[in-house]
Structure 1
Amino acid sequence: MSDRPAAVCQSLNPEHWTVRAVDPGPDAPDQVRNAVFRSSLPGCVHLDLIRAGVIEHPNHRFAERNMRWVGRTGWILAAEFAADERVFAHERTELVLREVDGIADVRLNGRRLGRTASSFLTHRFDLTNQLTKRRNRLELHFEPTLTYIHRQLDLLGARPYNGDEQGWDPFPCLRAPACMFGWDWHPRVPTSGLVEAAIESWSCARLRAVRPRTDQQPDGSWICHIDIELEYTRPCPLHIAAVLRDSERDIALESTDLHPDAHTAQLQLRAHNVKPWFPRGCGEQKLYDLHLWIRCQDGTTLDDWIGRIGFRTVRLDQTGGAHTFVINECPIFCKGSNWVPTRVFRAEASPETVRRQVEQAARAHMNMLRVWGGGRYEQDEFYHACDELGIMVWQDFMLACAMYPEQGELPGLITREAHEQISRLCAHPSVVLWCGGNENVWARQAWGWSERLGEQSWGEQYITHTFAHACAQLDPTRPYRINSPSSGPGAGSIHADANSAEQGDRHTWDRQFDGYRELITRFTSELGHQAPPVWRTLADAIGPEQMRVGSEAMEFRQRATAGNAPIFTRAMESVFGREPQDFDEWLYAAHVLQARALALAGEWHRLHWPRCAGLLTWQLNDCWAGPTWSIIDADGRLKPAYYALRRAFAPQLCALHPIDGVLRLALVNDTPDAFEGTITLRRMDFQGRPLAEQALPIAVEPRSSIIAADAIDLVGEPDDESSELLIAEGFGLRSVWFWRPDKDLAYPKPICRGKVQPADGGYHLHLHAQTLIRELMIDASRLAPDAESDDQLLTMLPGERRTVLVRTDASLNEHDLLRPPVLRCAGA
């Protein structure tokens, strides 16, 4: 064996970092002039200034208004460090920077190494023979982000983009998360910073990329193909090997010798008797350990790659306009949501936060998350969590709602980005689709942008060639869609109706509430309704004095161009017949409207399986406390709509809906087992008196939906639509139907008695309905920040009992748990 040292990686994140402003403008505070502030990694300038007390966090009240100057200022981020002695024993030494937000010249000991130009690339700079054995100084000289992108706009030419007519900044001119320049749920906070800096030293060769992909053989065995890219310091013969194993055994081992200057290689491992990976609800999420390494002739290990893979096939059935995901030849109805960055600044998004929100999606019976193209490629923990929990990932490339230039350095950056992100993510079995971005094709077709664009380029080359070619070459096992929404496969679909209900996926923003029933889409990849954050989250963000309808803060936090009136006021008047009397009533009404909208949409899409093959609501999560479409708010609290959608996404579903003008009973079975038995329909009045009842024998096959019966044929027309309801229940399932909107219903005065009992991890609320209780909201966070109930928006018939667990580490006043503002229901 050789005494050649192993490759060295020295993290620079723990070093002493500083940041200072360069030529701050007249709107910058005096505190930043000639001042040096402490910094840290992961980090960004905004977080450094917040820690220094120069600015407040943008989530605090109106702080966003006072930080526009940050994006107009240049910054120097610097660290001094002593190089690890082991780095000098290697033939090559590199500086590696990951997830750099902003344009920066990179300098070591006063010498320019190069430039960063994309948040979505790993930047590597050759430091060979440039480090000293004493102190070294690394500097990143960030250009003012806003100055840069407006200069690029002048160079590349103006093109339409989301918000351009509202004064938003031209985000398509920089490879960075589009949302950080402002979105209808995100503040305008373009920043400069990075996640990771390291010194990597190596000799002979290193692994540049490792791309495992799996392929099932006719005999049932699997082959794991591993494509490998290598980089050399000099030609040298190599031995490359890989082993596949699980916790009990080695499954396959393969190795080969490489030519001294072979820059690519492939290994094939044949695996017998392995279990396939399935999405949750369809089977096991079995993962296997894969370890690959390269050695030189003397046996020294030069580099290795360790990851986990799953064996599964995936295809997108687009026959006849369909948009159906088929995993291991099993067609799947996709229940899920759109994923956006979990925090305003990347450095605030801990792996624990990311995993917790994926777990929340799983607990809501979701099996798919779409990583939306206006954010960023997520951190590793997101994909690991999705692998383990069986959450399929629809992965957008980072283009969104804009016409993108195809000039300057952008084409080269986007090509490199596609190569790096495909290579990085293709090992994850959860990733089932690559998509060329969000609403680019649709915007050009339907938003009047084609006329404004003229003959200028708009990103067509990226979505029809760059991404498509990279996927075909690097990851042929997964389907690629040119955009979302899109009407079909291939580059030719850019000329077809992008947002058709008859083919491909659709973004349904032209319907609300009952309007959802006007369409039976093939797949809806965006649909949603706004609601404010949970009370505690909103109060922490805007302050108690702003917690009122129409307050300055409530208007400031509303970023949808339509404003609060059409989203909330008109809907509340239409459903409830009046504007709420106080803010607590307004919050309740807003949450109920969102919950009803999403529950209706979830049920409607599912009962039309297999024509309709999925619903991804907009949006799962949030990063800023304002009225948005999320069901998990910016502090990670579950909005009431989360619970409603969880019920609508349950593996088995019973639902009452008007179909073709007739109120019908529908059942959905997402499980691999058939179920049969009896569903009972009861028509009753609001006092609980039965008016008609009929038992219906039903049988539902695995992974199917049925329209079981005409409800009116079974229990008759209501005698008084204002004071009757219809219940369908069986198998532990229930659906409740009201014939009229709330404003026309003669609700009795709600009376619900209760008892509180301490329990492990919190309190049990034993509830006993004395009258009809519709959509009982339980907001225990009003009493303690960590308090959360395990169910919400409960509808109970007179005499029914329910027990709800409120989880908290706090000691609560038991009487407060049983009265407003913790409890509230319809008609109160």
Structure 2
Amino acid sequence: MKRQTLHEDWLLAATAGPVPEEIAGRTVPAQVPGSVHTDLLAAGLIGDPYLDTAEAGLTWIHRTAWRYTLAFDAEAPQPGERVDLAFDGLDTVATVRLNGHRIGSTANMHRTYRFDVRDALRGGANELTVDFAPALDHAERERERLGHRPHTNAHPYNMIRKMACSFGWDWGPDLQTAGIFRPVRLERWTGARITGVRPLVTVGDDGTGRVEAHVGVEHADPAGAAPVVTARAGGREARVAVPAGASEAVAVIEVPDARLWWPAGYGDQPLYDLDVALSDAGGAAHPQAGLDAAHRRIGFRTVAVDTSPDAYGAGFTVTVNGRPVAVKGANWIPDDHFLTRITREHLQRRVDQALGAHMNMLRVWGGGIYETEDFYDVCDERGVLVWQDFALACAAYPEEEPLAVEFEAEARENVARLSSHASLAVWNGGNENLWGFADWGWQRELAGATWGEGYYYDLFPRVVAELDPTRPYVEGSPCSPGHRPGGVHPNDPDHGCRHEWEVWNQVDYTHYRDTVPRFCAEFGFQGPPTWTTLTTWIHDAPLTPTSPAFLMHQKAADGNGKLHRGMQGHLPVPEDFADWHWAAQLNQARAVAFGVEHYRSWWPRTAGTLVWQLNDCWPVTSWAAVDGDGRPKPLYYALRRAYAPRLLTFQPRDSGQALIAVNDTDAEWHGGVQLQRQDFSGAVLDTASIGLAAGARSAVRLEVPASLLTPADPSKELLVAATDDARTVHTFREDVELSYDPAPLSAQVTAVPEGYRVDVHAHSFARDVAILADRVAPDAEADDMLVSVPAGRTHSFTVRTAARIAPERLTDPQVLRCANGLAAHPTGAA
């Protein structure tokens, strides 16, 4: 196999549409992989789409056609040689021509394409063109042809196989990308080639790992000699001849005493090399010799989802190697709207941030993409389980052709492609489509038209069962086990997985406690990005929650109204923008942590939580814990505390308050919990010590003496519970009802090798102390945040930065924050 990468010297030009005069007729260099927007940006022909209100000025691109052109040299095809032009990703409606020959067309971003170009390729100079038609035009034509299907967007994204959030979402821009967004190359081969390696990995009861390597083979000449597949893993080898005319051979390897792969927090993540070689019969079998070769990394483990009926309904417990896993994680969206800017280093940092918050699962949401190999590799290496949606979200999808054949092709390709990854734990039919059909008025709109039922209950489970039976499939998220229309409601809290969006959309975050779901796969609350990210991209003067660019970066319907209503009863709504920014971030952090702690307190009845969402694709006010520039928001720190392996949390039980100890470790948790009721000045009003005995992977209820739960003045008292490795603080009223000292802190700053240590002392109880370090230097990041400090105590923060900072800047009132200061400010319409 010889490969010639075709990434250099591409040119881009608009060919039709409402193109601005200064761009019409221009030809610019194009980066491949890349996109139209990033090429125009690099050429200085458009402003940054993320900046201020620039997005609104780029809607002309939605209706514009583009041509990519490449002149390249190549050798003429040799007798008996196959020459293929391979595209790993085209976004989206494309026509490919080589030397004037139309060699193929595409309309699916979620697939790869391969074209036999022997008849079109010339020895010497060649010209390759790829014409992209507007995806929106294509989708609208399909809607006219097939009839309207309901969806949650201004554009009919459900009529085209393109990343749904490319058309905008309630956290993302409407930029509708186009381009050659993944690698492209010429591949020359003779005899046969490997079309894919699909390893099915299992572990026997005796600990023997079994690799069933399904190796796809394409023959240049079907009548030619049968090649041989050789597979190696774990020091073992299997060699099998490809039957005459067959397109697949299966090599089976057994590895005794295989080291098991575990999710983070449950064990190690050993990975084994799987090397596959294709050779002529009797020829070289070394992976680097012969006709073709492929490499994968595998991990030996089993995975399942236990949905067995029980006393509460039907559960949803992920098990790995037969052990129930308490899932702690988040939803994942594309890490940049412009996909080709996402590097492996970006993904490593983001997944490491998830691990830093004690997460063990990421859900690849169905309105995005099937991620790159880099994403799954990083999760394999770090032990982060992946819940993988099929790429459908919040819409009814037609089941007519040509969409039906596209759905099957992409499902087959991606299930096979991802089968080697140990981290991939769950295949899911799509996001909120079953719920939409049940509750969102779709049935009336559809009037009997197809909506995707055949995909969720027939096509996808059939493809997974055929191509990767080692993994579980669930019909949707949310979904009740065995749900079909007319059965148990898909978002029933007692059955399967649930999405909780009444909080945020309708009710106060304390209503998280109204249900005890079996698994909560989506829930969240909005907050703005960090100050530096916000002010880098938004330059309104004055900057307010209703200024034009800020609103361009607030995509949620009535988003600011929900932010303000969400604060009411908890925090004031400040008039000053800097105070409003801090209050909105703080309330987001508290709301989501409140939900997480409630759900975790009910383990194992509630077997997992996936917060909406870990990351952002641009600088926006959203539900993310890490903003569009990669900076952790206060929510991130709240999640790190709420997802800690050992958690103490006060929760209502039987019309009273109980202390719940959650032990998500393999060691028993023994000892005593020290309890103190204090007033805000630090005076100890009551104390107790209660015993703690929490078994491995358990949650236990601890009874708190009534005297500790009965404050003399609930506006001035708090309850502290602490062990050697966990601590929690409980106040008896909401912040707006508490008699805080508005300025309870003093601080001292000391330079240390990695930056600065800030020793913060509280002379009165200080709630949720934070150092908003990015306000001082763009790279500055505090090691902790939202730390409640009782009177008389000191907490030391480390601020890591390469910048040289005047120490007093880290103690500025806009940087060293706590909830107390908000309560002293007047409220109003920010």
Give the alignment's TM-score, normalised by structure 2: 0.95
Instruction: Please give the per-residue CA displacement for 1:270-297, whole angstroms capped at 9, x wherever unaligned.
Output: 1112210000101111111111111012
User: Is 1:767 matched up with 2:760?
Assistant: yes
In structure 2, C-alpha distance between the alignment counterparts of 1:805 and 1:595, rounded to whole Å:
20
Q: Residues 546 and 553 of structure 1 are in contact (CA less than 8 Å); yes or no, is this contact kept in structure 2? A: no
In structure 2, stretches of 5+ residues that fail to align are: 285-289, 822-830
> 1:452, 1:330 → 2: CA distance?
44
Post-superposition shift, 1:217?
2.0
Q: Are 1:244 and 2:233 an aligned pair? A: yes
Aligned counterpart in structure 2 of residue 332 of structure 1, from 325, 332, 342? 325
Give distance in 2, aligned partners of 1:220 and 1:51: 54
Q: Match for residue 570 of structure 1?
A: 565
Q: 2:166 — aligned with what? A: 180
* Alignment-derived partner of residue 3 in structure 1: none
Q: Identify the match of residue 291 of structure 1 among 269, 275, 284.
A: 275
Which amino acid counterpart does residue 312 of structure 1 have in structure 2? R
C-alpha distance after superposition, 1:741-799 (max 9, x if no partner): 11110001333222222222211112222221111121111111111111111111112
Residue 64 (structure 2) aligns with: 73
Per-residue deviation at 1:88?
A: 4.5
Deviation at 1:38, TM superposition (A): 1.2
Q: Which whole-Å CA distance do the structure 2 matches of 1:113 and 1:443 have between them? A: 40
SS for the counterpart of 2:39 is helix
Match of 1:504 among 483, 490, 496: 496
Partner SS, residue 67 of structure 1? helix
> How is 1:749-764 mapped onto 2 (pairs within 5 angstroms)?
749-764=742-757
Shift of 1:66: 0.7
Q: Give, in whole Å, the separation in 2 of the partners of 1:760 and 1:152.
A: 61
* 1:382-401 aligned within 5 A: 382-401=375-394
Q: Secondary structure at the match of 2:410?
A: helix
Using the alignment, how far apart are the partners of 1:318 and 1:589 within structure 2? 40
Quick one: which amino acid aligns to residue 509 of structure 1?
W
Q: Distance in 2 between matches of 1:314 and 1:72?
A: 45
What is the RMSD of the two structures over their aligned residues, measured on CA atoms?
1.4
Q: Of 196, 199, 202, which residue of structure 1 is paired with 2:186?
A: 199
State how far apart, in whole Å, the 1-side matches of 2:112 and 2:353 are.
Answer: 30
Deviations 1:180-212 (A, max 9, x none): 101000111112112211111111111112111
Would the aligned equivalents of 2:276 and 2:293 in 1 still touch at CA under 8 Å? yes
Kindly indicate whether the alpha-carbon contact (under 8 Å) linking 2:747 and 2:760 is maintained by their aligned counterparts in 1: yes
Contact between 2:76 and 2:123, CA under 8 Å: does it hold in 1?
A: no
Q: In the alignment, what sits opposite 1:276?
A: 260
Deviation at 1:77, TM superposition (A): 0.8
Deviations 1:705-736 (A, max 9, x none): 00111x35252411111110111101221111
Aligned to 2:291: 302
Is the CA contact (8 Å cut-off) linking 1:87 and 1:200 kept in structure 2? no
Whole-Å Cα distance in 2 between the matches of residues 273 and 493 of structure 1?
Answer: 45
- What residue identity is the alignment partner of 1:525? A
Q: CA deviation at 1:346?
A: 0.9
Query: 1-side partners of 2:685 and 2:80: how far apart?
Result: 85
Compute the displacement of 1:87 (Å).
6.5
- After superposition, the C-alpha distances for 1:217-257 in whole angstroms (9 at most, x for unaligned) are 23221211111221111132111111113xxxx2x111122
Letter in 1 for 2:139: I
Q: Which residue of 1 aligns with 2:149?
A: 159
1:75 deviates by 0.6
Question: Hey, what's the Cα distance between the residues in 1 that align with 2:551 and 2:240?
Answer: 65
2:84 to 86, 94, 100: 94
- Contact kept in structure 1, 2:540 and 2:548, CA below 8 Å: no
- Does the CA contact (< 8 Å) of 2:227 and 2:280 recur in 1? yes
Q: CA–CA distance in 2 between the matches of 1:43 and 1:749?
A: 51
- Which secondary structure state, in structure 1, belongs to the residue aligned with residue 22 of structure 2? helix
**1:37 maps to which residue?**
28
C-alpha contact (below 8 Å) 2:50/2:619 kept by paired residues = yes
Moved more, 634-643 or 457-466: 457-466
How far 1:298 sits from its partner (Å)? Answer: 5.2
* One-letter amino acid of the structure 2 residue matched with residue 239 of structure 1: V
In structure 2, the partner of 1:209 is 196
Kindly indicate whether residue 423 of structure 2 is the aligned counterpart of residue 427 of structure 1.
Answer: no
Determine which of 52, 55, 70 is the counterpart of 1:64.
55
Q: Distance in 1 between the 2:122 and 2:804 partners? A: 58
Q: Deviation of residue 495 (structure 1)?
A: 3.7
Alpha-carbon offset, residue 579 of structure 1: 2.4
CA distance in 1: counterparts of 2:10 and 2:447, whole angstroms: 47
> What CA distance in whole angstroms lies between the structure 1 residues aligned with 2:296 and 2:486?
37
Q: Compute the displacement of 1:505 (Å).
A: 0.3
In the TM superposition, residue 737 of structure 1 has moved relative to its aligned partner by: 0.6
Distance in 2 separating the partners of 1:154 and 1:492: 29
1:141: which partner in 2? Answer: 131
- Tell me if 1:704 matches 2:698: yes
Residue 534 of structure 2 is matched in structure 1 by 538
Distance 1:734 1:46 in 2: 49
Give the conservation status (yes or no) of the 8 Å contact 1:487–1:493: no
Give the superposition deviation at 1:493. 6.5
What CA distance in whole angstroms lies between the structure 1 residues aligned with 2:65 and 2:93?
A: 10
Please tell me whether residue 519 in structure 1 is matched to residue 515 in structure 2.
yes
In the alignment, the residues of structure 2 paired with residue 442 and residue 714 of structure 1 have an alpha-carbon distance, to the nearest angstrom, of 46
TM-score by length of 1: 0.95
Give the Cα separation in 2 of the matches to 1:708 and 1:73. 64
How far off is 1:116 after superposition?
1.4
The answer for the alignment partner of 1:402 in structure 2 is 395
Task: Note the C-alpha offset of 1:658.
Answer: 1.6
Distance in 2, Cα, partners of 1:129 & 1:8: 18
Task: Tell me the distance in 2 between the aligned counterparts of 1:216 and 1:33.
Answer: 60
How far apart are the structure 1 equivalents of 2:67 and 2:623? 37
Aligned partners of 2:548 and 2:104: how far apart in 1?
Answer: 46
Secondary structure of the residue aligned to 2:85 is strand
SS in 2 for 1:561: coil
Is 1:809 aligned with 2:802?
yes
Query: Quick one: distance in 2 between partners of 1:423 and 1:714?
Result: 61
Pairing 1:399-478 to 2, within 5 Å after superposition: 399-478=392-471
Residues in 2 aligned to 1:368 and 1:87: alpha-carbon distance in whole angstroms? 48
Match of 1:46 in 2: 37
Tell me if the contact between 1:308 and 1:428 (Cα under 8 Å) persists in the aligned partners: yes
Cα distance, 1:258 vs structure 2: 2.4
Q: Is 2:617 the counterpart of 1:589?
A: no
Pick from 710, 713, 734: which aligns with 2:727? Answer: 734
Change (3 A) 1:746 1:325: same
CA offset digits 1:66-96 (Å, max 9, x no partner): 111111011101111112x497476111111
Q: Distance in 2 between matches of 1:822 and 1:281?
A: 34
Matched residue SS, 1:224: strand
Cα deviation, 1:302-334, whole Å, max 9, x if unaligned, reads 111111100001111001110000111110110
> Which amino acid counterpart does residue 307 of structure 1 have in structure 2?
R
CA contact (8 A) 1:90 1:201 kept: no
SS of 1:30's equivalent in the other structure is coil
Work out whether 1:348 is the aligned partner of 2:348: no
Residue 718 in 1 paired to residue 719 in 2?
A: no
Distance, in Å, in 2 between the alignment partners of 1:216 and 1:196 is 35
- Residue 827 of structure 1 aligns to a residue in which SS? helix
Query: Identical aligned pairs, as a percentage?
Result: 38
Question: Does the aligned pair in 2 maintain the 1:236–1:261 contact within 8 Å?
Answer: no
Contact residue 545 and residue 560 of structure 2 kept, 8 A: no
1:651 aligns with 2:651: no
Of residues 212, 220, 226 in structure 2, which corresponds to 1:233? 220
Map residues 258-269 of structure 1 onto 2, 5 A cutoff. Answer: 258-269=242-253
Matched residue SS, 2:718:
strand
